[in-house]
Amino acid sequence: MAPSPSGVITLLTDFGLRDPFVGVMHGVILSRFPAGRVVDLSHGVAPQALDEAAFWLERSYRWFPPGSVHVAVVDPEVGTARAALVVAAHERFFVAPDNGLLGEIAHTLDAEVRHVDLERVGLGPPSRTFHGRDVFAPVAAELAAGRLPLDGVGPQGGARRLTPAAGPRVVSVDRFGNLITDIEASALAAFARPVVVVAGRELPIAGTYAEVPDQEAVALVSSFDTLEIAVRNGNASSVLGVQRGAGVFLREAAPNNRLA
């Protein structure tokens, strides 16, 4: 059963804020649904980084009310024959290109996946480079306004999944230079004295940033329940020379290791 729309729409893109793309999406949504409440979740996803967008979407939607509409546009295949999706899952709607971004959400037990039929939803041919404006924003507005029922979106279908990474990695670098990994906090339970290894360095796991001396590197559980690597009052990405995509792993501290 589709959720009842709440009027809240979030936007997650790799557009940045220098250009007018985000503002134009706001304009399209508000032109169709003036009472809509649009929240910019983030426009700082690394260009074409589907895994980063999926990571943040999967960890952010639950903080919004049931019936909210979550638009994610990271779209390297824009203008091709790839489908546009609406997924109803977790009491919310998700709108995105079918490029793997919604793969995990679309394959949850309660999910219903619809492929957008442009004619059925009343849209003309979109531009070849800006489906955020021409497809995803108007569909999101109509869903949020309660004017577009799920069965009116288009036929049911499948959703692509991202190719799994070779191993745990840094999936995002935040504005503080903290390294956000995809290692779930629950993985710590498998170790008596776990340490994190990144760029050849073994780091202790602490409860807060302040548990190590100034400018020292440390790992901790982030507010999104994955492991994060930080430098107290510093930039971990710069200090450690680590960027998005770098490998990272947990292991047991050596018996003579005093870090843990």
**Per residue in 47-97, pLDDT tens?**
999 999 999 999 999 999 999 999 999 999 999 999 999 999 999 999 999
H or E, element range at 54: helix 50-60
Answer with the one of 105, 120, 152 that is the final residue of a domain: 152
**Is 190 found in the same domain as 142?**
no
Q: Is residue 257 part of a domain?
A: no
Say what the pTM is.
0.93
- The stretch 181-192 carries a mean pLDDT of 94
* Domain CATH code at residue 83: 3.40.50.10790
159 within domain boundaries:
no
User: Do 92 and 30 sit in the same domain of this protein?
Assistant: yes
Identify whether the C-beta of residue 220 lies closer than 8 Å to the C-beta of residue 227.
yes
Q: What is the mean pLDDT of residues 208-223?
A: 94
pLDDT at 257: 59
Range of the domain at 188: 170-252
Number of independent structural domains in the chain? 2
Do 121 and 177 reside in the same domain of the chain? no
| 119 shares a domain with 237 | no
* Domain presence at residue 118: yes
pLDDT at 140: 99
CATH number at residue 207: 2.40.30.90
Q: Does 98 reside within a domain?
A: yes
Phi then psi for residue 58, to 5 deg, are -65, -25
For residue 167, name the pLDDT band (cuts at 50, 70, 90).
confident
Q: Indicate if 23 and 114 belong to the same structural domain.
A: yes
Residue 164 lies in a domain: no
Tell me how crowded residue 13 is: count the other CB atoms within 10 A of its CB.
23
pLDDT at 18: 97
Same-domain pairing of 16 and 138: yes
Could you give the CA distance from residue 109 to residue 215 in angstroms, rounded to a whole number? Answer: 45
Per the CB < 8 A criterion, the answer to whether 124 and 118 are in contact is: yes
Please indicate, yes or no, if residue 109 is contained in any of the structural domains. yes
Q: Are residues 65 and 128 in the same domain?
A: yes
In a domain, 197, yes or no: yes
Residue holding tokens 């796991």? 205
Same domain, 142 and 193: no
Residue 177 exposed, middle or buried by CB count within 10 Å (0-12, 13-18, 19+): middle
Q: Give 143: exposed, middle or buried? Use CB within 10 Å, 0-12, 13-18, 19+.
A: buried
Query: Are 59 and 85 part of one and the same domain?
Result: yes
Amino acid (1-letter code) at residue 83: A
**CA 172, CA 246: separation in Å to the nearest integer?**
10
Instruction: Give the helix/strand (H/E) hosting 180.
Output: strand 179-184
Encode pLDDT of 35-56 as tens digits. 999 999 999 999 999 999 999 9
Percent of the chain at pLDDT > 90 equals 92
Whether residues 137 and 197 share a domain: the answer is no
Q: What would the 3-class secondary structure string for 62-114 be?
A: HHCCCCCEEEEECCCCCCCCCCEEEEEECCEEEEEECCCCCHHHHCCCCCEEE
Confidence grade of residue 260 (pLDDT, cut at 50, 70, 90): very low
The region, left, alpha or beta by phi > 0 then psi within -120 to 50, assigned to residue 182 is alpha
Residue 73 lies in a domain: yes
Q: What's the number of CA atoms in the CB half-sphere (13 Å) around residue 243?
A: 1
C-alpha–C-alpha distance, residues 57 and 48, integer Å: 15
Looking at the structure, tell me whether residues 247 and 124 fall in a common domain: no
Q: Of 118, 152, 186, which one is at a domain's C-terminal end?
A: 152
List, for residues 5-28, the tens digit of each pLDDT value. Answer: 999 999 999 999 999 999 999 999
Specify whether 141 is located in the same domain as 30: yes
Three-state secondary structure call for residue 181: strand
Out of 125, 152, 179, pick the residue that ends a domain.
152
